[in-house]
Amino acid sequence: MCGIVGYVGPQNALDVVLEGLRRLEYRGYDSAGVAVLAGGGQATAKKAGKLANLEKDLADSPLPESTIGIGHTRWATHGGPTDRNAHPHVSADGRVAVIHNGIIENFAALRAECEAAGVEFTSETDTEVAAHLLARVYDETPPGPGRLAEAMRTVSRRLEGAFTLVASHADEPDTLVASRRNSPLVVGVGEAADGTPEYFLGSDVAAFIAHTREARELGQDQVVEIDRHRGLTVTDFAGTAVEPHAYTVDWDAEAAEKGGYDWFMLKEIAEQPRAVADTLLGRIGQGGELVLDEVRLSDQDLRDIDKVFVVACGTAYHAGLIAKYAIEHWTRIPVEVEVASEFRYRDPVLDRSTLVVVISQSGETMDTLMALRHAKEQKARVLAICNANGSTIPRESDAVLYTHAGPEVAVASTKGFLTQLIACYLVGLFLAQVRGIKYADEVATIVDDLRRLPEAVAEVLTRMEPVRELGRSLAGAGTILFLGRHVAFPVALEGALKLKELAYIHAEGFAAGELKHGPIALIDQGTPVVVVVPSPRARESVHGKVVSNIQEVRARGARTIVIAEEGDEDVVPYADHVIRVPRTPTLMAPVVTTVPLQVLACEIADTRGYDVDQPRNLAKSVTVE
Ligand code: M6R
């Protein structure tokens, strides 16, 4: 989604802003732009396409030096990805420059109002209305310190929808203001080499992590004013002062670099053993019991729960599907799993004894955030599983369990997913522990299984060369199907999603038991079918049934690619390729079986010549509906 950067400080703003935009490229975008305050006016540059296009223009026609600037990478919503629609948008009088993330839902009415007042619009965006409104309201606001912030509050109260707006005004050469509702924004507070304070605005901390790790969270419906002399002031939309929550980012710029890998995705796949280990770290007590201090729900609250909903989008939803198997098995509490965009628009039956687990790597996914609010309105307890510290979803939840994956830059989620699985296991087991459903020794045994997972993932990673070779041979495929059963079914869905988003190949994941109810008709001579085989120890001979499915698709001409645990010889006669994973407890098998599917999708996309880290049309975090 759109990336936002702002800077006030002694350095050349354009350099800082462009560097911030580079670090936000992973969010996904299709145009970019910058504005700096200089010579008593706004100087802007904007360009469709990658940031490199804008940088080329800037090399040909540089902007003046300035110490205050804003920058934006746009993911088109209203109006196509053209130079004209790129941000910043400047007011008709040329004094105000605005960048925006989100959707202003009442923009049509506001645009009509501006047009009636004689304003001519130059873009098709919803954002432009904010620039014109801010300029008009500024003129009507009494002069004095804080005038731009006051104008921003007035405008913000009139806007509906989701927005992070950052604006500068030519008459206030020392000030940046920003406003946020339902859309992310963080403030960075640092000190330049000469000791002068400097301030940053970013849609996430990656925008300024190279300069400072000291961050301030901006809450819902708040406006921040950054003034070179007066510093940082945060208020709500009514103007009441608010103390922003300060925190230190627990990773640094190095963690957000590629570290010698061709793609961030490859680096993030390789980081998975460490990420899984870090997600377990500090959560296991001396006696093998779980210690989840961050889960701010009392034991009594947890004992009162009689139903669990898991709500998420995309890959995080797949983690939720796997969570259901574990939580129901360990706790005997009924679990429903739903995509957030459906959950939020129906009437799920929830009350105080319902636990809603929302899963989001970014903590900013709009549908998941809205689902969370929908759940809270009905008094359900909400527990967030999230990777991004300080993001909106954990902040609005009753409890939070952070996955400690570190920054995930590639659009396709990998370590985010594996650590979400670990967090789901922790939640399930913790419920079982608190409710006394499992004896302490049973909990400790499962905890031991969890502790072995980082090593198991590391082992899978050592065996990936044949998978890459296979990937190269599959790069010309028109369709690839994925089958799984029991916990391997969501893994099949995840494998198909990875392939679609990275390689743009038609892929579908099916529950293997559904094969004969329709999908088998898709099998043609040579159709690659990836079968994720559940553990032979899975219940009710599920394993045997999947082996039969492999035979069935092969009999119809499929090229069978089988992911099976070591020692599972039953699959061998029917597999054209076998990918081996270490033997892992039934419920935890997805932690190892997903990894080859990540590698496969990455290799196929790379072979086809695609940008693995920033697939077309996609954004890292979907902050609009
Ligand atoms: O940040 P979130 O976990 O809330 O994101 C949810 C999905 O948008 C995300 O998992 C998406 O499906 C990824 N592109 C998957 O690789």
Q: Which residues contact 504 (CB under 8 A, 6 or more apart)?
A: 605, 608, 610, 615, 616
Phi (first) and psi of residue 329, to 5 degrees: -65, -40
Residue range 191-219: mean pLDDT, rounded: 93
Ligand 1 in reach of 412 Cβ (< 6 A):
yes
Per-residue pLDDT of 140-169, as tens digits, reads 999 999 999 999 999 999 999 889 999 999
| Closest atom, ligand 1, to C-alpha of 365 | 4
Mutation test of ligand 1: which of 26, 204, 362 has the most ligand atoms closer than 8 Å to its C-beta?
Answer: 362
What pLDDT does residue 140 have?
Answer: 97
The domains of the chain, with CATH numbers, are: 3-255 (3.60.20.10), 258-451 (3.40.50.10490), 462-620 (3.40.50.10490)
pLDDT confidence bin for 354, thresholds 50/70/90: very high
Question: In b/e form, how buried is each residue of 293-306, taking b as 16+ CB within 10 angstroms?
Answer: eebebeeebbeebe
Per-residue pLDDT of 38-76, as tens digits, reads 999 999 999 999 999 999 999 999 999 999 999 999 988
Distance 367 CA to ligand 1 centre (A): 11
pLDDT confidence bin for 390, thresholds 50/70/90: confident
Distance 56 CA to ligand 1 centre (A): 32
Ligand 1 in reach of 154 Cβ (< 6 A):
no
Question: How far is residue 280 from each of residues 283, 402, 403, measured CA to CA in Å?
Answer: 6, 10, 9
**Neighbouring C-alpha atoms within 13 Å toward the C-beta of 208:** 32
Judge whether 500 counts as a catalytic residue: no
Which strands sit side by side in the sheet containing 479-484, from one edge to the other?
A: 506-511, 479-484, 528-532, 559-565, 577-581
Distance 315 CA to ligand 1 centre (A): 5
Over 90: is that where the pLDDT of 296 sits? no
Per-residue pLDDT of 329-347, as tens digits, reads 999 999 999 999 999 899 9
Ligand 1 in reach of 621 Cβ (< 6 A):
yes
Paired with 96 in beta bridges are 169
Least confident among 336-340, 388-392, 595-599: 388-392
Over 70: is that where the pLDDT of 253 sits? yes
Q: Greater confidence, 492 or 515?
A: 492
Ligand 1 in reach of 389 Cβ (< 6 A):
no
Over 80: is that where the pLDDT of 259 sits? no
Over 70: is that where the pLDDT of 540 sits? no
Over 70: is that where the pLDDT of 137 sits? yes
Phi (first) and psi of residue 510, to 5 degrees: -130, 155
In 203-316, where do the E strands start and end?
214-217, 222-227, 231-236, 245-248, 307-312
Please count the other Cβ atoms lying within 10 Å of the Cβ belonging to residue 274. 16
Ligand 1 in reach of 184 Cβ (< 6 A):
no
Phi (first) and psi of residue 236, to 5 degrees: -85, 180
DSSP state, residue 536: T
Q: Which of 28, 18, 27 is nearest to 57 (CA)?
A: 18
Distance 24 CA to ligand 1 centre (A): 16
Judge whether 516 counts as a catalytic residue: no
Per-residue pLDDT of 432-466, as tens digits, reads 999 999 999 999 999 999 999 999 999 999 999 99
Ligand 1 in reach of 535 Cβ (< 6 A):
no
Phi (first) and psi of residue 169, to 5 degrees: -130, 135
Which amino acid residue places its CA nearest to atom 8 of ligand 1? 314
Question: How far is residue 449 from each of residues 26, 182, 534, 549, 593, measured CA to CA in Å?
Answer: 34, 39, 17, 29, 16
Q: Greater confidence, 27 or 167?
A: 167
For all residues of the chain together, what is the average pLDDT?
A: 94
Distance 412 CA to ligand 1 centre (A): 7
Distance 499 CA to ligand 1 centre (A): 14
Mutation test of ligand 1: which of 268, 413, 417 has the most ligand atoms closer than 8 Å to its C-beta?
Answer: 413
What pLDDT does residue 473 have?
Answer: 97
Percentage of the residues of the chain whose pLDDT score is greater than 70: 100
Q: Are strands 479-484 and 528-532 parallel, antiparallel or unpaired?
A: parallel
Contact 166, 98 (CB under 8 A): yes
Residues 81, 99: Cα–Cα separation, whole Å: 15
Token representation of residue 95: 């004094």
Residue range 117-145: mean pLDDT, rounded: 96
Per-residue pLDDT of 565-594, as tens digits, reads 999 999 999 999 999 999 999 999 999 999
Mutation test of ligand 1: which of 75, 343, 365, 389 has the most ligand atoms closer than 8 Å to its C-beta?
Answer: 365
Mutation test of ligand 1: which of 622, 623, 624, 625 has the most ligand atoms closer than 8 Å to its C-beta?
Answer: 622
Ligand 1 in reach of 365 Cβ (< 6 A):
yes
